Amino acid sequence: MNDHTNIASVLVNSAAASFRANKGWADKAIAQLIDEKLHVTLDENTNSIAVIMKHVGGNLKSRWTDFLTTDGEKEWRNRDNEFVDSFSGRQQVVDHWEEGWTSLFQTLAALRPEDLSKSVTIRGEAHSVPLAIHRSLAHCAYHIGQIIMVARILAGDEWQTITIPRGESASYNENVWVKEHDQPSNDGKTE
């Protein structure tokens, strides 16, 4: 494996891992809410979790369908409709959300090292493939932060922390470092 292939693999694999982590946090947050709360807005100028999920799903499906060969803003996408809460139940919301993520993960898995030197367009603007990946990751992270914050507010006292709980960083770090140091080294011996 040459350096270019290795760097390309590392970039795509690390991006996929970051996308998966972000999606996992959002999935854990929405799992803590009853169906009706997915449609609650905090005020008239904010989006419900269902709307944010609809938008992220639509964006991902548009950006990652035929990623290398067509503009990321597909003609069939109706972005404005993504901000209308039209889904009647959790399953419809989740199905749409999952369609977008499936498009993303399938495309990332299919990218070849030489694809990273290519250019793609989003609304007619050229982007390198790495920039398009990072742009999508930043967009998802932004909206997933919104999902988590709204879910946290709506769950109230029932909220279960999805990352390291307050006041438990030292304990978490100690457990992680102990586990890592207990792993066998390359020669099979423990340190």
CA dist list (Å): 118 to 8, 11, 72? 12, 14, 14
C-beta of residue 47 within 8 angstroms of C-beta of residue 68: no
pLDDT of 184 reads: 59
Query: With bands split at pLDDT 50, 70 and 90, how would you rate the model's confidence at 2?
Result: low
**For 65-122, where are the alpha helices, taking DSSP H only?**
90-110
pLDDT of 188 reads: 47
Neighbours of 161 (CB within 10 A): 10
pLDDT of 185 reads: 55
What's this model's pTM, rounded to 2 decimal places?
Answer: 0.89
110-152 tens-digit pLDDT: 999 999 999 999 999 999 999 999 999 999 999 999 999 999 9
C-beta of residue 41 within 8 angstroms of C-beta of residue 48: yes
Where are the chain's structural domains? 3-164
Q: Which fold has domain 3-164?
A: Four Helix Bundle (Hemerythrin (Met), subunit A) (1.20.120)
CA 141 to CA 14: how far, in whole Å?
A: 14
CA 151 to CA 182: how far, in whole Å?
A: 37
CA 130 to CA 31: how far, in whole Å?
A: 32
Phi-psi region of 118 (alpha: psi -120 to 50; beta: other; left: phi over 0): beta
